[in-house]
Structure 1
Amino acid sequence: MNERAGSTGTTRRPTLRDHQKQQTRRSLLECAKTLFVERGYAAVTIDDIVSAVGCGRATFYLHFSGKPDILQRIGAETMEQRAVTVYADLDAVLESGSRAEFARWMRRAVAWFEDNQAILPAWDEAVALEPEFRQIAKRAVSELPAAMPRYLARWGPDRQDEARLRIELLVSQLERFFTRWAVQGTIDSSADDAAEVLSDIWFPALLPPEHRPAPER
């Protein structure tokens, strides 16, 4: 069988050089993540990263355009996971109309932050320092409503901007809560208690007025 790429449509088999490039890229990502977690974003230089890997700056720039780019690549899987597993889950929870289910979702959302706590301070630092990264972070948040088509449909075509804004504000409050609670230690609460209070605030706020339960008399 002819294995030549392009003549039969067969995908070219990876070469040893391809594997080496992939391994170098993985090593750069892993070392950069370790350094960002240990030292923060601003304190780490590209020279620190390539020194930890044992390669040169030219090799780094074959894979990444700079520090914001490599941090974006580190965060890409994390943020994609948030969209797929956290906010797609929220879409189903809101459709159920159950406040109890929403409170359980809120606890899972806090757990997601706990699982990714180590890298989040570097992400926040880069947002503050790098205009380029600020746009990356903005895009990561603005894309979350796309994981929630049923939620958007309930708000109707004339209220899409409001519906998206509500999700973006939810994300912002969760991020700020987690920073003050887990990173700074300035909020004294259990995760379960915080999830209950956040549910009181956000469960009705994410339902269009016509979908909200009637107040008890």
Structure 2
Amino acid sequence: MSARRTTLRDEQKRLTRTRLLEAAERLFVEQGYGAVRIDDITAAVGCSRATFYLHFTGKGDVLRSIGAEGTAPSSQRFYQDLDRILESGSRTEFVGWVSRAIDWFQHNKDLLPAWDEATVLEPEFREVARQGLVDTAAVMTSYLSRWPEERRDEATLRVELLIAQLERFFTRWAQGTIEVSAAKAAEVLADIWFPALRTPAPNAGRS
């Protein structure tokens, strides 16, 4: 059976959805998540609320879609790369990875406050944020597999804490409350996290 051809109506729907996402992202960056109304998004695109609800269930759904189609996949690729680097055991490569992570945060810094605000304002968004953390840690399959089964939860927690600390550091750094060069930050973060992510020796247990 041949694939259904894309119709003009399908293409118009796709373009409208894209325009809604782009307008919402711009407004979230400029005004913050809480201040933006659905009417603001539709006005920016020039469509009706009915059209908006053909594509999204609400404002939170728009932000989730922005993350799912943009920041989340690129973030997960970073941690897949970290999985490879930890297997190599190279601290130099780890420092390079931290530097690239800082660059990634810098590139995405404008939207991050909207994510933080949505997590506070929308209770259901906390589960979205939690699931994003879980999904990102889960891509590190090689790293997790090198931990004993009984300590696999601890291994996952170490990755989640790394993600959380990097996010918190970057927020403070972007605000100017931490003054340090990106290169120095990468070295110090590597001092903390390279040994913390080391896998236990075979048959090693808790002392």
Q: TM-score, normalised by structure 1?
A: 0.90
Matching of residue 202 in structure 1 with residue 193 in structure 2: yes
Larger radius of gyration: 1
Paired residues, what number?
A: 201
Q: How does 1:159-174 map to 2 (within 5 A)?
A: 159-174=151-166
CA distance in 1, matches of 2:140, 2:199: 14
Deviation at 1:146, TM superposition (A): 1.9
Identity percentage over the alignment?
61
- The residue number in structure 2 matching 1:11 is 3
In structure 2, runs of 5+ residues without a counterpart are 203-207
Matching of residue 132 in structure 1 with residue 124 in structure 2: yes
Matching of residue 83 in structure 1 with residue 94 in structure 2: no
2:111 to 105, 119, 140: 119
Q: How does 1:21-170 map to 2 (within 5 A)?
A: 21-76=13-68, 77-84=70-77, 86-170=78-162
Deviation at 1:81, TM superposition (A): 1.1
State the 4+ residue runs in structure 1 displaced beyond 3 angstroms.
none
Q: Which amino acid aligns with 1:81?
A: S
CA distance in 1, matches of 2:130, 2:67: 13
- The residue number in structure 1 matching 2:183 is 192
Give SS of 1:208's match: coil
CA distance in 1, matches of 2:104, 2:97: 10
Deviation at 1:209, TM superposition (A): 3.3
CA distance in 2, matches of 1:209, 1:156: 8
Give SS of 2:179's match: coil
Q: Which amino acid aligns with 1:136?
A: V
Deviations 1:100-133 (A, max 9, x none): 1111111111111011111111011101111111
Q: TM-score, normalised by structure 2?
A: 0.95
Q: Which amino acid aligns with 1:83?
A: Q
Cα-Cα RMSD: 1.0
